[in-house]
Structure 1
């Protein structure tokens, strides 16, 4: 293969990799949270820093909201989010959001149960791997596992 062709293929490959790394999240989201939760507001700020306009809905009955959104028992966190046809539960890191909106799997949503330290909106350093779950009306499964050092 001539050098010029190889160089063109290599630069095209780099350009495609750069495009894949710049996943565009949906422009809008609705975040449901308790009025007193500061980490939920910090997660909304995180999404806004990624270009998402977040409408925050304060509610005293998150249980009803989670039930309406179809979040399975055991996958709950402190806030719930609706974004472009998906439900996103908890402090889900950007890598999982990027994968969700790149691949667009046929699921109702993804969830990171609990409030793990070092995730977007949560203080501290992350010292554990994170299992992000996918769910629909009938089942749950692992969506992705993020190593302790990934964010």
Structure 2
């Protein structure tokens, strides 16, 4: 018998509440033919609530040892509880990656922005130098005017 750990829906309309159950994979979601209830899941609670997902860890470990396979959602619960390794999210496939033409456009745009930033930095440096130079020139001029005023 192929057993699976999955969610069985309970609760009212627009107010879901799930039991984490172990059942035969051929049974319907809410058939009632369950082998064990190993936890509860209340999606209406906040994500950080400890009562959102409640699992009986010992029973879950026993059923996993017996060969029960968790559904995708239950697998995430088990991974968050540290009972199984989290699934690795694959990298982008070649089909999903940006084309060479798009990458070239992005690179050109970044180079233009870098060049503009360098020009602005150079202009600011020149403006600072120009602002400091007249201040230095005016100070000696004031000193030279002082003896003339006497």
Q: What is the TM-score when the length of structure 1 is the normalising length?
A: 0.19
Structure with higher helix content: 2
Determine which structure has more spread, i.e. the larger CA radius of gyration: 2
Q: What is the TM-score when the length of structure 2 is the normalising length?
A: 0.19
